[in-house]
Structure formats: C-alpha cells, structure tokens
Amino acid sequence: MIEPRGGDDGTAFTLVDLRILAGMASGKTQAEIGAEMHLEQPAISKLLRACEGRTGLALVEPVGRRLTLTALGRDLAAAAERTLAAFDEVERLAGDLLAARRGTVRIIASSTPGSYVLPGIVAAFLRDVPRASIQLHIQPISNLWASFEAQQCDFAVVPAMGLPEQLVSEPLYDDPVVFFASPGSPIAGRTNLALDDLRTETIIGKFVESHWRMIVRELELRGFRAGRRVTIIPPEGVKRMVAAGAGVGILLESSIRRELDRGTVVRLPISDPSLDQLFCLARRPNDALSPLALRFAAFLRAKIAAGFRPARSHAPEEYVPT
Amino acid sequence: MLFTAADLRILARLNDGLTQAEVGAELRLEQASISRLLHAAERRSGLQLLQPDGRRVRLTSVGRELAEVGERALRQLRGLDRFAASLRAGRAGSVRIIASSTPGSYLLPGIVARFLQRNPDVDVELAVETMSELWEQFMSGGFDFAVTPRIAYDADVVVTELCDDPIVLFVAAGTALAGRLSLGCADFADHMLVGKFSDSYWGQITRELGRRGYRFARRIDLRSSEAVKQTVQAGLGIGLLFGSAVREELAEGTLVRLPVADPLLQQRHCIVRRTDTDATPLAQELAAFLRDALDPGTPS
C-alpha cells in the first residue's frame, strides 16, 4: 500500500525524491546528484529507500558498487521528469512575470477607444512582448463597470466623465468631437461654419449614450442646435449613413480618422471652440498591478503621446505601483 | 526553488475562492502559517501574490496566473501516486522485449497491439534482431525478456514455453511441385532452396535437414523472411521458413506448403528472462498475456 504521508501535497513523493530519480535516470551518480542538491550520499540512499517504502516499488538495485534504477525505477523516473517539468514551468513563469515578459493584462474599454484606439496599440505591444496575453473587453459605458469588476480587469480606458469615485485615473488623451459630412454634400463645401449653422441639418450620432448626452448638452450651451437627430449606436453605422448623404455626423475624431484620411467623409470647419472628450486610464487604487500590466501602461502612454492629442485640462498623475 | 508544493497548493485553493482560514483548515495549518508561507514565497520570487480586499486578502493577477500553472504541476504530482499504483499493478509503465525475427515480426505484433489496447498507459518497446545478434544484446541488459526459438541457453535464464512453430518448405502456387500430393527427400535434388542461411540458427536447421537426407541443387541466402517469400512467390525455388512467417500467404493460396512425408523440424518459441533481474509486474502481465495468446502445443 502507498503511505501517502511523507511526500509533497499529500502524495508519496517529494520533489526531492523526483529530482533524485530524474538525476539517476539521466546517468548521474549519487555523488553528482548529492553535490547538486546539497545532500550527502547516504541521505540520497535513505530518501530512495523511504520512497520505495511509501510506494511499495523496488526503484533501485545495486549493480556492482553503485545503485541503479530498476525497470520500474526508470518508468517512474520518466514520469517524475514530466512532473518536475511542470514545477519548473512554475519557476520559469515566475521569472517571466517578474521580468514582464509573460502574463495576462486585462483591459476593459468603452466602444470608441476599444474599437479605434487600443487595437493597434495592443497589436504593437504583443509584437514587442510575444509571450504576453491581452484580454481586451469592449463594453458600452452602461454596463462597463460591472464587467470591470467581474473580469478582474487591470485597467479601464474610458471617458473621464462619470468615472466611479472609488477608482483612480490618469488622463490619457483628448479626443475632439468632430462634425463631418459626405464630400458631395452641400455643407461639405462650406469654408466656415458656426455651431448655429447646423440647426437646419439632420445630425446623426450616438445620442442616447450617457456621455454623448453630456457632450450634446455642452455643445448646446455653445449654440449647437440640430434640425433633426438620428440616433445610431455603433460608430460604423453613423459613418455609413453620413457617407450615404443622409446628414451630418457627430463622432469622436479617433473613430473617423481613417475615413478623414481617405476622404470618404470630410470634417466640417466649425469655427466655435472645439469640444474634446477626455479619456483616461482608470484602475482600482489597491490593485497590485503585475509588472506586465505596468509595462503595458507605460507602452500605452508612449503610443498615445506619439499619436494622440495629449490631455490638456488635467495634470498627469503617474501610477505608483503598490 | 521559488515555490514549494505547499505554496502552490495554498495559491491554488485561494484561487478556487477559499479564504486563508479555509485553506488552513484544509491543510491543517494555522492561518498565520499560511500568511508566513506566502510572504516567504513573495520574498523569494519578488512577486506580490496577495493584496488586501476589504478585510480579506485576495490573489493579485500575478498570484492567479501562478496559481493556475501551479495547479497543473500539483495535478502531475498527484498523478504520480496513481502511476505508481498502476506500476505496482502492472497496468502502467514500459516493457522492453527483444525477439528474433520470426516471433518479432509475425507472432508478437498482433498480440502486443491487443495488450496495448487493453492497457492504454503502457509502452512496449519491441526490438527485433537476428538470432546471432539477439543473445548478446539481451544479456547486456535493459530488456525485460526475450522471445526466441528454444536453443541451448548458456546463461542463467528462466524459460517459459510459448508455442510450437513448424519449419515449412513452400513454393509458389502454380509451380510444378505445388501440385504434388507427396514428396520425399530425393524430390528436391534439382531445386534451389531459398532461406536465411547466414543466420547461425538457420545454419543449424539446414544441417539437420542435410542429416535427414535433404539435398538441394543450390541455396539462395537472403537476410529477411519477406525477401524469402517474395523470391519464392516470383517462382524461384523452394522457401524454408517458420510456419508463422508464411501463415497468411498459405491461407491466401499465393504460397503452397509442400507435403513432405518426413515430418520436418518443429521449433518451440519461448519467453526467456534473466535470473539476475526481477520481472516487473507489467512484464509479468505481458508475459502471461503472450502465453494465453500463444498456447503451447497449439499448431501454427
């Protein structure tokens, strides 16, 4: 019968037993194994005999003056090597986690940064850190915070407005609110426009989302009036409807950069001061971020700084790793 | 070592949602000991594994990742106990067999395949050698047993008889000899004999045939049974092999066994084990399985 006590995790084997068996299977002498493991040779023999007692298997036999593995010992040593490899993998993982070479970063983002800002940055990060894994969850603001907790995310990339009080955040970038139209539409030919000039236009946007309601309220304070409002939630729907000539679109610049560059839509030259949406990187204050998460945050900041308008209205607040 | 098995067990159970107190109760450790072990692991690894969560603590994301990989390692460790039990019961492990070419090629493969189907955790290594090479390799060690025709063994071995295998003379279907109802020694004098004569074992057999009065016009020496069969099937000469080596061809009718009036030699295949090594439970299981499949005395 196996006597389970004496081994690791309630088993018949200790990791030391396994290393001795694996060492013998690889042809090392007991003296060599002892030197590696800081054990006296008699201690090795004693451990092997104890292991034999617990398992009921004859693992070693004397051949001349040496102890060698029996056929059963060789079979067990092969299995021991596989087990040790699994434990060695834990050690390697720890080293990689510490060096920020491996691990998982969990990010949740609202739809605009999640769809238009983060994918390119995440792809570049994964090229830089090939053994990293990124989970990017994209959620509308309405149920984003519930998912942030449920998924135990490291960060959220979200509009700064409406951020839960218990989180800490740092500003990332300002994303300008842009009015745009199809290149062939009459309004696209105008060289100068005020917000008030849009009062006869059909305005297409994501008006029902909470932060868009706030944006529109702010625009209205600056004189914006829409002739008619058409609400479509996904930005792609807004862009398609505008490209089809159905009206003037309103979105954040990051979501229509590609179309503006290609000329499939044109930015309307609104002379009134522009309105920016501030996006931030938020997290729970007590979370101990992994080295990889910190590395990703630094990477994100650098990429944002290189490609986006830096946040103007907020002093940056660096993370202090806990 | 950065993490002991106990550290990984604690991480794994915390990752399962247990509190430190619950993990302590499960591992029969004080809660303070659990904290101490984890803090020691944090110091060794340089990684923060726990973080406060209200009045409790929970794993950090790094702690969760290590817990998941650690759980896999612990499963492997627990699997070793099961493996050891299977080794003791002869349900797992490996068996190394060395066999001469006829049993190795024609008798054992099908039986070993059935044994492997019944015992999915078993590995079998079957080495096939000519009789000249086999004995030296077997005695140099590493094999659980050998399967060979019975010979005069010159070492301390335990021999278990397996089955009889007749030595047969055969020709291609459609040749003149194939139609004969009876043949005597003198009928072969104008024919070529095709066999594996360079193997010392077959040398002894042909000498025995000669002693019994069999004479052949010429001998063609090939190294493999398959080559002997192909040559004879091509219409060249009379083949000499064990019955088990030509059983399929005789059944298909592509080769015809010659009706020699004088009963030819018969060989008995045996399991041979060295006395200076203990047979493992698994080797004993396989040997018993072979004996059951090849009942001694059953004509091939």
Structural contact between residues A139 and A279, judged by C-beta atoms closer than 8 angstroms = no
Question: Which residue of A1, A5, A8, A9 to mutate against B (max B Cβ within 10 Å)?
Answer: A9
pLDDT tens, residue order, chain B (300 aa): 899 999 999 999 999 999 999 999 999 999 899 999 999 999 999 999 999 888 888 999 999 999 999 999 999 999 999 999 999 988 899 999 999 989 999 999 999 999 999 998 899 999 998 887 888 889 887 899 999 988 877 778 999 999 999 999 999 999 989 988 888 888 898 999 999 988 778 888 888 888 888 989 999 999 889 999 999 999 999 999 999 999 999 999 999 999 986 666 788 899 999 988 778 899 999 999 999 998 754 444
Q: Do A90 and B47 touch (CB under 8 A)?
A: no
Q: Give pLDDT, residue A308.
A: 80
Token pair listed for B99: 């066999």
Query: Domain A175-276 falls in which CATH fold?
Result: D-Maltodextrin-Binding Protein; domain 2 (3.40.190)
In a shared domain, residues B85 and B233 = no
φ/ψ of A271, rounded to 5, equals -80, -20
Q: Do domains A103-172+278-310 and A175-276 have the same CATH topology?
A: yes
Q: Give pLDDT, residue B186.
A: 84
| Boundaries of domain holding B24 | 5-89
Q: How far apart are CA B69 and CA A90, in angstroms?
A: 6
Residue type, B26: E
Q: Give pLDDT, residue B181.
A: 84
Q: Give pLDDT, residue A176.
A: 93
Find the helix or strand (DSSP H, E) in which B158 lies: strand B157-172
Q: How far apart are CA B142 and CA B129, in angstroms?
A: 15
Total count of domains within chain B: 3
State whether ipTM is beyond 0.85. no
Structural contact between residues B74 and B5, judged by C-beta atoms closer than 8 angstroms = yes
Q: Give pLDDT, residue B299.
A: 44
**A82 contacts chain B (CB < 8 A):** yes
Distance of residue A70 Cα from the nearest chain B Cα, in angstroms: 9
CATH of the domain at B153: 3.40.190.10
Distance of residue B158 Cα from the nearest chain A Cα, in angstroms: 18
Q: Give pLDDT, residue B296.
A: 52
Give which of A38, A16, A41 is closest to A30, Cα–Cα.
A41
Strand partners, A135: A106
Contacts of B14 in chain A (CB under 8 A): none
Contacts of A57 in chain B (CB under 8 A): 84, 87-88
Contacts of B190 (CB under 8 A, 6+ apart): B217
- C-alpha distances in Å from residue B201, one per residue of A91, B105, B159, B198, B274: 56, 17, 18, 8, 21
* Mean pLDDT per 10-residue section of chain A, whose length is 322 residues: 58 92 93 92 92 92 86 93 96 97 96 93 96 93 89 94 91 94 92 91 89 89 90 90 93 94 93 87 93 97 86 48 40
Q: How far apart are CA B121 and CA B183, in angstroms?
A: 51
Question: Which residue of B27, B49, B77 to mutate against A (max A Cβ within 10 Å)?
Answer: B77
Report if residue B192 sits inside a domain. yes
| Options 3.40.50.2000, 3.40.50.1100, 3.40.190.10, 3.40.50.300; CATH of A103-172+278-310 | 3.40.190.10
- Alpha helix segments (H runs only) across A14-165: 15-25, 30-37, 41-55, 71-98, 111-112, 118-128, 141-150
Q: Give pLDDT, residue A317.
A: 43
Q: Do B60 and A287 touch (CB under 8 A)?
A: yes
In a shared domain, residues B11 and B47 = yes
Q: Do B277 and A80 touch (CB under 8 A)?
A: no
pTM of the model: 0.74
**B5 contacts chain A (CB < 8 A):** yes
Contacts of B72 (CB under 8 A, 6+ apart): A86, A89
| Options 3.30.70.270, 1.10.10.10, 1.10.287.130, 1.20.120.160; CATH of A8-98 | 1.10.10.10
**B140 contacts chain A (CB < 8 A):** no
- Cβ count near B45 (within 10 Å): 21
